[in-house]
Structure formats: structure tokens, C-alpha cells
Amino acid sequence: MAVSGFEGFEKRLELRFFHDENSIARDPMGLRLIDFESLDQVLNEVQCTVVSAVANRSFDAYVLSESSLFVYPTKIIIKTCGTTQLLKSIRPLIHLARNLGLTLRACRYSRGSFIFPKAQPFPYTSFKDEVVVVEESLPKSLCYRKASVMTPSNNPSRAWHVFTASADVESDETVVVVEVCMTELDRVNARSFFKRKGDEKSNSDSAGKEMTRLSGIDNINANAFICDFAFDPCGYSMNGVDGDRYSTIHVTPEDGFSYASFECGLSLYDDGHEDISEVLSRAVDVFRPSDVSIATTYGGEDYNNEVTKRVERVLAKKLGLKCRSRIMDEFPGSGTVVYQSFTPRRK
């Protein structure tokens, strides 16, 4: 990576499971019973490590040296940046789940377009090769499969890549997942994610908390407990825990290849939670990027066009961002993905 720069764009993998019918003891902890040593071995294959962790009654959240890992009783989400080998985690995770009486129900692999594609190892130099590797790693029972590259008309170099596989034609997932990718961060805002002079010797926990406060990340969701981590000499990651909801942010602040991501899982119809458009507005405002893309995955819930339009209205009104492209695609057994691209109005 030294020849180019650090690759901020993450690869993301989500695996969903169900309890075997023949399983005698269905422990409600499910995948959370996987011991740390086993998880660490998987992450070693991926080429990353755990740097911080937090848990509540619903799930376990790990900040990684390259992004994040979330473990729910029947779902695992792992996203990694840089030149990590994410797809090497599929087979061992399926094996660990099988030992707990859990069978794979669905798989989703997604990523944006890399800033430094030539720096990636095989198979990540080609989405077609990635799809082949994923398909070879999955059981044949996941028969409903689809790969798609969603390319915005305004910026073909910022495509969204998605592969899904499901054992059911109807999705069992009720959570809506929102993934935001931001490039060309405002230089002043990006300074919050550099360790200040004199902070080099401070631990990453205190430096991470300082970055969370200075940047305003703690205001995105005031209800979330934040597990944050500051990298040396710059860079930042955090996982937010709010009941059964997760959120995560990763920042590569260096000028020339600056990047930030924000992701959260939510339900559109739960009372007592904020409008997603307001949450997204606060998240994007932390970074003031020149280019924003938002991929929204509707699992078991029907695609809601009004939510999509409301996000566009709020980002335009509050941040001056204009939606330049909106693409929708459907995936059998895995719901609908809407991919929106934004740039400032002045461009």
C-alpha cells in the first residue's frame, strides 16, 4: 500500500443463519458462543486483529485493525478495509456456526470501487473473480443468487458491487442497512482524526474519545454507547451500540485519498427512533465530503420510495448536496438495494 495510499473503501460480508431442525439444545446466544480464540484465527486469515470490543444483551461489537466485526446470535457482519482478504472468512465462519447447530440461510457481499484497485490482491482486482470465490465457498442450498454492479451515470468510477445468495426466495431480514461512503473530506474537519502533538504517547482509548468529541461523532446518535479507537499517527474507527442497533464509522483522513464511512442497521417503522435522513445528515456533516454515496438495503421490508426522497431532500436542504444518480436493483431472497450518489450543488 505504500506505493499508493491506504485503501479506505471496505469489503463487507454478512452471513445469516438459522437453527437446525435436529438441533436439540437451541442456545439463544447462538453465534455469540464462538470463542474469541476461534474468531481471532479467522481474523488472522483475513489479515486483521481486534483492537477494542464491547457487548450488550443483543450482540458483540469488535473494532478491528481494519474496520469492524459484529456478532449476533444468528448473524455475523464483518467489514474490512486496506488489502485484507475478507472472503477467506466465509468457510471457517460457516464451519464454526455448524458446530453450534446453525445452518447458513443467506450471504451478502458488497463493496464500493477501490481508490487504489491495482494495490488489491487476487481476487479483489476483479468483482467477477470475487463472485467466483464467494460462490465456491457457499453450500449449494443457497440457490437464489445474483451479482450486480450498480454504476452511477454521473461518476462511473464510483460503482457499488453486490452479490447475494439465499436459501429462500423471500428475505427473512427485517433490518434496513444503510452504508455511506464519503471521499474528499473537508481538510479542516479531517484534522480531527490526526493525533495532536503531544498525544503520540497517549493511549488509543483516550485519543479515540477525544476524536469522537472534537468531530461531533458523539452527536450522531446520542443514545449509542461508543467504542472508539484512534490509530497512529492518524485514522479512526468506532462502533456504536444502541439496544439491538449497531452503527460504525471508519476514517482515513490523509489528504489526497481521504475517506470516511458510516453504516447503521435500523427499522424504518420503529417508534422512538429518529428519522434516518436526520441521522445521515449529521453523519455526513461531520466530514463535509465532496462525494457521497449511500447504499440502502431493504431486507424483508418493502422498498420505501418516500424514505429515499426524504434523504435527498434533507441532504440538499441542510448540506447543499444534490442527488446526481439513483439506482435500484432487486435481489432474490435478499431484498432491494437503492444506491444514491451526491455531490455539492456547486459542482
Active site residues per annotation: 67, 81, 237, 250
**Quick one: how far is CA 226 from the chain centroid?**
16
> The cell 476514517 sits on which residue?
251
Residue 194 marked as a ligand binder:
no
Element (H, E) at 263: strand 259-266
* Residue 306 annotated as part of some ligand binding site: no
How far apart, in Å, are the Cα atoms of 208 and each of 8, 49, 52, 218?
A: 18, 17, 11, 11
Neighbours of 308 (CB within 10 A): 19
Residue of 76, 130, 61, 67 lying closest to 106 (CA atoms): 76
Phi-psi region of 130 (alpha: psi -120 to 50; beta: other; left: phi over 0): alpha
Ligand-binding annotation for 274, yes or no, is: no
Alpha-carbon gap, residue 180 to 295, rounded angstroms: 7
Closest CA to 327 of 173, 166, 169, 155: 155
Q: From residue 321, how far is each of 221, 286, 287, 343 by CA, in Å?
A: 21, 14, 13, 5
Task: Say whether 254 counts as a known binding-site residue.
Answer: yes
Name every residue whose Cβ is closer than 8 Å to that of residue 340 and which is 6 or more positions away in sequence: 293, 294, 295, 296, 308, 311, 312, 323, 325, 326, 327
Taking 3-state DSSP, the helix, strand and coil percentages for the chain, each rounded to the nearest 5, stand at 25, 35, 40
Q: Which of 94, 83, 82, 85 is nearest to 14 (CA)?
A: 94
Task: Kindly report the backbone phi and psi dihedral angles of residue 317, in degrees, each rounded to the nearest multiple of 5, phi listed first.
Answer: -70, -45
Interatomic CA distance for residues 293 and 284, integer angstroms: 10
User: Cα–Cα distance between 64 and 324 in angstroms, integer?
Assistant: 33
| Cis-peptide, bond into residue 233, ω within 30° of zero | yes
Nearest to 78 by CA among 38, 86, 259, 182: 86
Annotated binding site: 6, 66, 231, 254
Annotated binding site for substrate: 6, 66, 231, 254
